[in-house]
Amino acid sequence: MKDRIVLVTGGASGIGRAVALLAAERGASVAVLDHDAQGALAVATQVVEINHGKALALNVDVSNEQAVAKAFSEIERQMGVPTAVFAGAGIDRGGPAHDLPLETWRKVMSVNLDGVFYTARHAIALLLRHNLPGSIVCASSPAASVGFAAGGAGAYSASKGGVSSLVRCLAVDYARHGIRVNAIVPGATETYMMWGNVNPEDVPRLREQISQEIPAGRLAQPDEPARAALWLLSDEASYVTGSHLVCDGGILAKASISF
């Protein structure tokens, strides 16, 4: 990743933050986009401390296409063309479909699916305009393939299913231009979003329960799926496009029954 310009949405925390810092360790300049302006600035500051390179923090709501377009213009002006893009911004809000507020459904879709589309759309347009190859990695989820046993994840699952379908289509459309599009499929990971809807007092108990259900016996740390994303962003994955790199500790490989 040396001398590459990496753009990360959702870069203020969780897997996005880990992608930004790992990219910095490997010599990249990093643009950190997040709706959390202070968090994005803190990560950008860490990037500079790690490799003394360029970093840019931008307060961006990825569900707003104008804001995404403006961010790409600003990154191009200040840093150059990002040829490695991680679309990691996402939210998890749920509930049973029969009483899920439409506003919640639309918000999840606007961030998780529209936001990935806007990010990929403007990244691809910029790469085409400059006749450059590039790599885009989107954050999908096991929820794109299976229903979560806990239930109430219809909006989140549908949004991630859309991301996975979008990845395959974009990969086919732009492969001839040297633009690769892939996804990582992280499982349960120790991030704010993992526990955002959980009473803090219940977290230790649920962590233990979930760990017992994961074949690997534990939750992932954010840097573990981030390393998978970095590989897909790098030239080491030069012939990989339209793929989903599963990094879930064995969740999707496991049957739901124990006998």
Specify whether the CB–CB gap between 165 and 144 falls below 8 A.
Answer: no
Strand pairing category for 55-59 and 134-139: unpaired
Q: What residues have CB less than 8 Å from 204, skipping those under 6 apart?
A: none
**CA proximity to 159, closest of 98, 108, 120:** 108
Question: Comparing C-alpha atoms, which of 138, 201, 145, 131 is closest to residue 171?
Answer: 138
Task: Give the active site residue among 118, 156, 174, 239.
Answer: 156
Select from 225, 211, 151 the least CA-distant residue to 182: 225
CA torsion, ordered 194, 140, 42, 39, to nearest 10 deg? -60
Residue 20 to residue 175: CA distance in whole angstroms: 25
Q: Is 156 a catalytic residue?
A: yes
Catalytic (active-site) positions: 156
